[in-house]
């Protein structure tokens, strides 16, 4: 899409937000809303701070993820006011006012002060953001009922947001291709992370989340957070879960690659991928995501049987006995947006059989969700099952061979459309 068209869509996005926010403010009896971008706290007893990521509602409006001490004032019937913090600072670069069409939809000011713009005469004021940024401010701070409705404005994406998520997928796809090549050439986790950053031209701190790059048994640590600098003596598997952030919107993609010669593990990767594609095809408006999560368990049970990992138990029994949960402990997916686990996904808590599921809604056109089944060899989860009542139904020898491959996850980002779905990931990474 030409840049000009994207700019036009962003202006429409802001009009939509103005309407959605005005409705929410009216519902809850407020005349104005102040949103704090926030600021990174300093580390204890140190003169350095933590990496900063802007507050979701601020990014939803502005796309600006890295401006601290800045403010957005929403006033129904008037242009929103964006005040950027622009101190005179010879230690750091300071933000400059954006010069793009979307910014002309707003009233823009620059301020050397960390304080918000004048708040007199606004009537009933709500203020939202990190409480640490709101000290001494007037108004009602973070009212829960209003916050819930503002989070709901992020569930159905505008055309502009879908476009940003699509571009975030396109760029991340380049990174995933480079990471796979680096793995097949024998690279370490650290070298794979460099290949990913190089191909995406994105620093790790700018990414939507810390990339998960696990070789061999590290692939079985769901949110593995280190990069080993040593190359493995025998590379067996790579699991990389990494995204790209485009104007605030993050992709969240996982691929698993078996090393040449890992026939059994490769067959399992192919099995999970085939299940993942069927689940993506089942993404349609009206689908209950909890049901889709349950279908995933049945699909994994079938795969465990056909691979010979579990014998003599039908699919329903494997699920009811918690065997599939020992291989696949997390949820099938979540909403995606300016936060990687985007808000608004759990109007009701997840059921007892899916405690980590982050999306309990029926799917609607405009949602963007991840579809990320997995199959892992995690000793702390599998060993109790292997030593338990049904332990003999599992093939211990096969599992012993596979501990060293860690696990499998395949994750795509899927837009729910009026008639079905559009897989934003596979457009760029088939």
When CB distances are held under 5 to 8 angstroms depending on the partner's kind, the choice from Mn ion, ligand GLY, none that residue 163 binds is: none
3-class SS string, the chain: CCHHHHHHHHHHHHHHHHHHHHHHHHHHCCCEEEEECCCCCECCCCCCECCCCCCHHHHHHHCCCCCCCCEEEECCCCCCEEEEECCCCCCCCCCCCCCCHHHHHCEEEEECCCCCCCCCCCCCEEEECCHHHCCCCCCEECCHHHHHHHHHCCCCCCHHHHHHHHHHHHHHHHHHHHHHHHHHCCCCHHHHHHHHHHHHCCCHHHCCCCCEEEEHHHHHCCCCCCCCCCCCCCCCEEEEEECCEECCEECCEEEEEECCCCHHHHHHHHHHHHHHHHHHHCCCCCCEHHHHHHHHHHHHHHHHHHCCCECCCCHHHHHHCCHHHHHCCCCCCCECCCCCCCCCCCCCCCCCCCCCCCCCCECCCCCEEEECCEEECCHHHHHHHHCCCCHHHECHHHHHHHHHHCEEECEEEEEECCCCEEECCCCCCC
Q: What is the smallest separation between the CB atom of 410 and ligand GLY, expressed in angstroms?
A: 11
209 binds, among Mn ion, ligand GLY, none (CB under 5 to 8 A by kind): ligand GLY
Is 342 a binder of ligand GLY (CB under 6 A)?
A: no
User: Among residues 251, 370, 423, 425, which is the contact residue for Mn ion, using CB under 5 A?
Assistant: 370
Instruction: State in angstroms the smallest separation of the CB of 212 from Mn ion.
Output: 7
252 binds ligand GLY (CB under 6 A): yes
Quote the least distance from Cβ 254 to ligand GLY, whole Å: 6
Binding pattern for the stretch 210-249 against Mn ion, x by CB under 5 A and - elsewhere: -------------------------------x--------
Residues 231-250 interacting with ligand GLY (rule: CB under 6 A): 241
* Rg of the chain on CA atoms, in Å: 23
372 annotated as ligand-binding: yes
Does the annotation place 92 within a ligand binding site?
Answer: no
> For residues 38 and 250, which CB has a smaller minimum distance to Mn ion in the complex?
250
- Say which entry of ligand GLY, Mn ion, none residue 216 contacts (CB below 5 to 8 A, set by partner kind): none
- Closest chain position to ligand GLY (CB): 241
Q: Which of 101, 209, 282, 403 binds ligand GLY (CB under 6 A)?
A: 209
Residue 411 annotated as binding site: yes
* C-alpha of 275 from chain center: 21
**Which C-beta is closer to ligand GLY: that of 190 or that of 209?**
209
Residue among 252, 262, 321, 412 that touches Mn ion (CB under 5 A): 252
By rule CB under 6 A, what count of residues binds ligand GLY?
6
Closer CB to Mn ion, 197 or 254, in the complex: 254
Site for Mn ion (CB under 5 A): how many residues? Answer: 5
Tell the smallest beta-carbon distance from residue 223 to ligand GLY (Å): 7
Binding stretches for ligand GLY (CB under 6 A): 209, 241, 252, 340, 372, 411
Binding-site entries for Mn(2+): 241, 252, 334, 372, 411
Binding stretches for Mn ion (CB under 5 A): 241, 252, 254, 370, 411
Binding-site entries: 241, 252, 334, 372, 411
């Amino acid at each position: 899409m030409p840049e000009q068209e994207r700019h036009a869509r962003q202006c429409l996005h802001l009009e939509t937000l103005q309407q959605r926010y005005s409705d929410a403010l009216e519902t809850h009896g407020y005349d104005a809303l102040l949103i704090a971008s926030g600021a990174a706290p300093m580390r204890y007893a140190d003169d350095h701070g933590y990496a900063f990521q802007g507050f979701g509602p601020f990014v939803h409006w502005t796309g600006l993820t890295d401006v601290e001490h800045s403010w957005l004032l929403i006033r129904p019937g008037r242009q929103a006011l964006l005040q950027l913090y622009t101190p005179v600072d010879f230690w750091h670069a300071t933000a400059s006012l954006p010069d793009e069409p979307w910014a002309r939809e707003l009233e823009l000011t620059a301020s050397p002060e960390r304080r918000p713009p004048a708040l007199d005469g606004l009537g009933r004021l709500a203020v939202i953001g990190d409480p640490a940024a709101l000290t001494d401010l007037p108004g009602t701070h973070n009212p829960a009922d209003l916050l819930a409705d503002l989070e709901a404005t992020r569930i159905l994406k505008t055309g502009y947001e879908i476009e940003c998520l699509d571009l975030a997928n396109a760029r991340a796809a380049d990174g995933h291709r480079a990471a796979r090549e680096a793995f097949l050439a024998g690279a370490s986790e650290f070298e794979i992370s460099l290949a990913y950053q190089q191909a995406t031209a994105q620093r790790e701190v700018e990414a939507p989340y810390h990339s998960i790059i696990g070789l061999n048994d590290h692939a079985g640590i769901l949110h593995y957070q280190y990069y080993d600098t040593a190359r493995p003596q025998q590379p067996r598997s790579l699991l990389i879960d990494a995204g790209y952030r485009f104007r605030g919107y993050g992709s969240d993609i996982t691929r698993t690659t078996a090393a040449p010669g890992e026939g059994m593990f490769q067959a399992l990767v192919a099995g999970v991928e085939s299940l993942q594609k069927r689940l993506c095809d089942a993404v349609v408006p009206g689908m209950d995501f909890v049901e889709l999560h349950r279908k995933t368990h049945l699909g994994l049970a079938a795969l465990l049987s056909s691979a010979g990992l579990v014998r003599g138990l039908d699919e329903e029994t494997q699920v009811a006995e918690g065997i599939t949960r020992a291989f696949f402990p997390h949820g099938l997916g979540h909403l995606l947006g300016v936060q990687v686990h985007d808000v608004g996904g759990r109007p009701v808590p997840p059921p007892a059989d899916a405690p980590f599921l982050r999306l309990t809604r029926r799917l609607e056109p405009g949602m963007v969700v991840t579809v990320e089944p997995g199959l892992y060899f995690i000793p702390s989860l599998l060993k109790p099952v292997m030593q338990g009542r049904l332990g003999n139904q599992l093939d211990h020898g096969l599992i012993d061979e596979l501990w060293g491959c860690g696990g499998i996850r395949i994750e795509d980002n899927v837009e729910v459309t009026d008639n079905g779905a559009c897989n934003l990931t596979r457009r760029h990474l088939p």
